[in-house]
Amino acid sequence: MTTPHDLDDRLRAELAALGAPDQRRDLGEPLPDGGPLTGAQALALFDAQVTSRLLDLAGRWLSGFGEGYFTVESAGREGDAAVAAALRPTDPALLHARSGAFYCLRAAQAAGAFPATSPQPEPEPEPEPEPGRSWSESAPPGAVSHQDVDADPGETEAASLPVGAGIVVDADGDATVVVPDLPQPAPDDAFAAAARDVLRGIVASAEEPAAGGRAKVFGRADLAVVPTTSTAGSHLPRAVGLGLALERLRRGARPTDGEADAAPWPADAVVVCSFDDAAADHATATAALNTTGWYDHTGLRIPVLFLCADSGASAEGWVAATLRSRPGIRYFAADGTDVAATYRVAAEAADWVRRQRRPAMLHLSTVRLMEQGGGDAARDPLLATARLLVTSGYAEGEELLARYDERGWQLRRAAEEVLDEPKLASPVEIVRELAPRRPVRVSRAVAEAAAHAAGPGAGARAEAFGGKPPELTGPLTLAQSINAALADGMLDHPGTAVFGHEVAARGGVYGVTEGLRERFGAARVFDTLPDETSILGLGLGAGLAGLLPVPEIRHLTLLHGAEDQLRGEAATMRFLSRGAFRNPMVVRVPGLASPDGLGGHDRNDDSLGALRDVPGLVVAVPARPDDAAPMLRTCLAAARVDGSVCVFVEPIALYHVRDLYTDGDDEWTAEYAEPGTWADRHVPIGRARVYGIGSAEDLTIITFGNGVRMSLRAAATLAGEGVGSRVVDLRWLAPLPVADIIREASATGRVLVVDETRRTGGVGEGVLSALVDTGYVGAARRVAALDSFVPLGPAARQVLVSAEAITQGARTLLAR
């Protein structure tokens, strides 16, 4: 294992031992072996690598006395600076946590500090030198090295002088060749500025430009660097989605017209996504790469350059064999410790992706240094770049050491300065950008949609519905109401896209999206692979690009395997970028259980706890058709206005139900509201619905989803016994409608919580906690599903909530 101290000492010793080149070259000249870089570019890459390495050391130094909170190092992987140089600073980048050198070079590119690749103009002829003065204006006193010249300066052949050198002639007529030293890095150059950003993240400074002290991430909107949260490849699905969305936008799709403009990616932008060899074996990365290849196979273009930094931790040859065999993804490889080779191959790969609009994999062989592992320090990429600069004639080893030390002092001073910067000091500061709620603006957006549908958009709406809009078709079921609301949403927002497994071809598993592809075309309603991680990843990328994605997950059971895309990627985006990035999304999920046990556990999942504890996530559960449409409109508007991430859980058992109390009563259907009434019937996030049965003075039943229909049936039975009930449909499980809960509970003093999720970790626990936290002192009881998976067939009734169990629970509560 190479400790930070050992690595630093070794590098300094190796730099000092490099000596001087046989002949100095001007930094503007290309590499002597015909490589793709100039000396100035190689030096800038060295600066990025040095800055990244010193940031690793600074992180360890700060953590040594309790002031640094992040020590994931990039040591050994600094060759990815050359990949950054091969791309444009406007290409969106989703970076691995060990991509320090890439970030530093990207910052220099954006600041115009990375030298151009085009040939430099020929220098103007120098005037004849006066005695005692240098021809080279770039050689200030005290910053030159000297080489004696015996011949008369007029007889010295120009070809024998180092490129960029000058001649000093003293008063006695003696001439000396003067070669300028490398200029020292400026204390406020682009690399120093990038280092200060990273240091602020390490010490959790509230002035850190990406997350504002909430986390240490590589991310800045003005650098087109999208913050990511994981080193295990969870950001790869988003990269695939972003690439697909960029192509869609390039081909004429319109972004949503919400408050925030679509991300200003150029039309020929390339998405770059870096990860390491450990992530290459992760299920999330495997899903993303498989989806990429599948889309390429079907003819859809995804301009993504994947960058795998392989430090050799896996079995020898395994990563290369895995990445090379990916169908539909072109493979490139380079030695990641050699910046010239890396730059050449990266430039070729980036150019291929940019021109072909197809995906590629750049596989870099790297080394693990510092406390990541016991890598070979002789393969240190900083040392390799330093050797290149010396052997090519651009610098002396001592100059590079001085440059390393000067940059080190810059970072030490910056670290000491950022320590005095303020930290986040209040809950409000921390959660301010987590999930802003602006209900007035959301309400206004719904009203504007209504005005458009009833006015300028009325003709297009009539055409889309075949001349018969849904408000004229009679009472609708829950599924039909959702279908109509989706169509209205797509009419209102040109950037809305509906997708998922078989949502286009079959209308989804339950037919809810039937007919949408015929109305809006395959570009806006399309099928995906049956992989929920990739489906959500497509939504994350599309939202980042400025579209409004509405993905469908086939069953709630299948969402659990992809939850990190919601928890770790979607819900954190605003939190980690101070609101500079957002990924609005409305995820539709057929869920909850059916008492007939049809399909067994695979299609009858009643677990929502994993969704409810994701900070900022909106969880909606419509029970009735006349709630489903306005709630969906609210979710779409909140996504546009606030960048909200919403999960719209649709009770499977209620999709096609028409009756409430008796067969044929049609009381579980509802007329679809005409646009003129949408604003009046708007359902804000976090507001419940209350039904009064009888006197409504004896009992409050608080429930949601399937529990609403069962509770209304139970309340009717209780009404026959003289008990008046009020049934509260929560409608929103996150955030809970706490004010409505307390008001309705206090009205009767007796609360029965009907929770169709499980007793442990279920929604009922949240309701009871809200009652306790606000000082409720009345009676309370709970009816909930057992802590069991849902079995197949009639056995499901033994573990799920029923109307009979609700009635009996109410009687027990009333008997106290």
The confidence score (pLDDT) of residue 179 equals 56
Q: How far is Cα 132 from Cα 130, in angstroms, rounded to an integer? A: 6
Q: How far is Cα 9 from Cα 74, in angstroms, rounded to an integer? A: 17
Q: How far is Cα 75 from Cα 387, in angstroms, rounded to an integer? A: 18
For 724-756, what is each residue's pLDDT tens digit? 999 999 999 999 999 999 999 999 999 999 999
Q: How far is Cα 103 from Cα 225, in angstroms, rounded to an integer? A: 8
- H/E stretch holding 441: helix 439-454
483 or 150, greater pLDDT: 483
Going by C-alpha positions, the residue among 693, 746, 689, 748 that lies closest to residue 724 is 693
Interior angle at CA 725, CA 719 and CA 727, nearest 5: 125
The confidence score (pLDDT) of residue 187 equals 85
Burial of 63 (0-12, 13-18, 19+ CB in 10 A): middle
Going by C-alpha positions, the residue among 743, 485, 581 that lies closest to residue 226 is 581
Query: Helix/strand/coil (H, E, C) string of 68-82?
Result: CCCCCCCCCCCCHHH
Beta strand pairing status for 330-335 and 699-703? unpaired
Asked whether the predicted pLDDT for residue 3 surpasses 50, the reply is yes
Whether the CB-CB separation of 745 and 813 falls below 8 Å is answered with no
- H/E stretch holding 733: strand 732-734
How crowded is residue 760: how many other Cβ atoms within 10 Å of its Cβ? 11
Q: How far is Cα 785 from Cα 790, in angstroms, rounded to an integer? A: 9
The confidence score (pLDDT) of residue 793 equals 86
Token duo for residue 10: 């070794």
Q: How far is Cα 773 from Cα 738, in angstroms, rounded to an integer? A: 10
The confidence score (pLDDT) of residue 176 equals 59
Token duo for residue 453: 């549908």
Q: How many CA atoms lie within 13 A of 464 on its CB side?
A: 22
Q: What phi and psi values does residue 755 have, to the nearest 5 degrees? A: -120, 110
Decide: helix, strand or coil at residue 293.
Answer: helix
Q: What is the mean pLDDT of residues 675-684?
A: 96
Q: Out of 253-267, 301-315, 362-376, which region has the weakest mean confidence (pLDDT)?
A: 253-267
Which residues 6+ apart lie within 8 Å of 535 measured at CB?
A: 499, 500, 501, 528, 529, 551, 552, 553, 562
DSSP state of 793: G
For 70-122, what is each residue's pLDDT tens digit? 888 999 999 999 999 999 999 999 999 999 999 999 999 999 999 986 444 44
The confidence score (pLDDT) of residue 543 equals 95
The confidence score (pLDDT) of residue 159 equals 44
**Side chain identity at 96, as an amino acid letter?**
H
The confidence score (pLDDT) of residue 231 equals 64
The confidence score (pLDDT) of residue 5 equals 80
Mean pLDDT of the chain: 89
Asked whether the predicted pLDDT for residue 537 surpasses 70, the reply is yes
Q: Out of 38-42, 182-186, 237-241, 398-402, which region has the weakest mean confidence (pLDDT)?
A: 182-186
Token duo for residue 564: 């990190």
Beta strand pairing status for 585-591 and 525-527? unpaired
How crowded is residue 247: how many other Cβ atoms within 10 Å of its Cβ? 20
The confidence score (pLDDT) of residue 127 equals 42
Q: What is the mean pLDDT of residues 681-705?
A: 97
The confidence score (pLDDT) of residue 34 equals 79
The confidence score (pLDDT) of residue 324 equals 95
Provide the pLDDT confidence category of residue 134 given band limits of 50, 70 and 90. Answer: very low
Distance set, CA 37 to CA 118, 317, 344, 467 (Å): 10, 30, 8, 64
For 559-615, what is each residue's pLDDT tens digit? 998 999 999 999 999 999 999 999 999 999 999 988 776 767 777 788 899 999 999
Beta strand pairing status for 175-180 and 166-169? antiparallel
Instruction: Specify the residue for token string 């970028």.
Output: 577
How crowded is residue 814: how many other Cβ atoms within 10 Å of its Cβ? 16
Token duo for residue 410: 């810059």
Whether the CB-CB separation of 718 and 699 falls below 8 Å is answered with yes
Which residues 6+ apart lie within 8 Å of 266 measured at CB?
A: 88, 90
Which residues 6+ apart lie within 8 Å of 44 measured at CB?
A: 85, 105, 108, 113, 114, 115
Whether the CB-CB separation of 248 and 597 falls below 8 Å is answered with no
Instruction: Specify the residue for token string 């690439």.
Output: 243
The confidence score (pLDDT) of residue 169 equals 65
Asked whether the predicted pLDDT for residue 414 surpasses 70, the reply is yes
Task: Work out the end-to-end distance of the chain between its first and last CA atoms, rounded to an integer number of angstroms.
Answer: 69
Q: pTM for the complete prediction?
A: 0.89
> Which residues in 22-35 are b (16+ Cβ under 10 Å) and which e?
eebbbbbbbbeeeb
Whether the CB-CB separation of 361 and 333 falls below 8 Å is answered with no
Q: How far is Cα 323 from Cα 310, in angstroms, rounded to an integer? A: 11
Q: How far is Cα 244 from Cα 265, in angstroms, rounded to an integer? A: 13
**Side chain identity at 424, as an amino acid letter?**
L
772 or 180, greater pLDDT: 772
Asked whether the predicted pLDDT for residue 218 surpasses 70, the reply is yes
Token duo for residue 554: 């086939």
Going by C-alpha positions, the residue among 769, 788, 790, 791 that lies closest to residue 780 is 769
For 611-654, what is each residue's pLDDT tens digit? 999 999 999 999 999 999 999 999 999 999 999 999 999 999 99
Interior angle at CA 507, CA 501 and CA 512, nearest 5: 110
Distance set, CA 51 to CA 42, 47, 204, 276, 716 (Å): 14, 6, 19, 21, 72
For 260-283, what is each residue's pLDDT tens digit? 444 568 999 999 999 999 999 999
Dump the DSSP string for 475-500: -B-HHHHHHHHHHHHHHH-TTEEEEE
Q: How far is Cα 238 from Cα 603, in angstroms, rounded to an integer? A: 27
DSSP state of 245: H
Provide the pLDDT confidence category of residue 133 given band limits of 50, 70 and 90. Answer: very low
How crowded is residue 333: how many other Cβ atoms within 10 Å of its Cβ? 18
Q: How far is Cα 180 from Cα 143, in angstroms, rounded to an integer? A: 7
User: ω before 303 within 30° of 0 (cis)?
Assistant: no
Whether the CB-CB separation of 559 and 258 falls below 8 Å is answered with no
Decide: helix, strand or coil at residue 5.
Answer: helix
Asked whether the predicted pLDDT for residue 160 surpasses 80, the reply is no
The confidence score (pLDDT) of residue 642 equals 95
Token duo for residue 153: 């300066």
The confidence score (pLDDT) of residue 691 equals 97
Whether the CB-CB separation of 102 and 309 falls below 8 Å is answered with no
Decide: helix, strand or coil at residue 117.
Answer: coil
The confidence score (pLDDT) of residue 211 equals 93
CA 18 to chain centre: 43
Which residues 6+ apart lie within 8 Å of 569 measured at CB?
A: 228, 229, 234, 235, 237, 238, 536, 537, 540, 583
Instruction: Specify the residue for token string 């990641």.
Output: 336
Which residues 6+ apart lie within 8 Å of 716 measured at CB?
A: 661, 693
760 or 175, greater pLDDT: 760
- Length of the chain in residues, anyone? 816
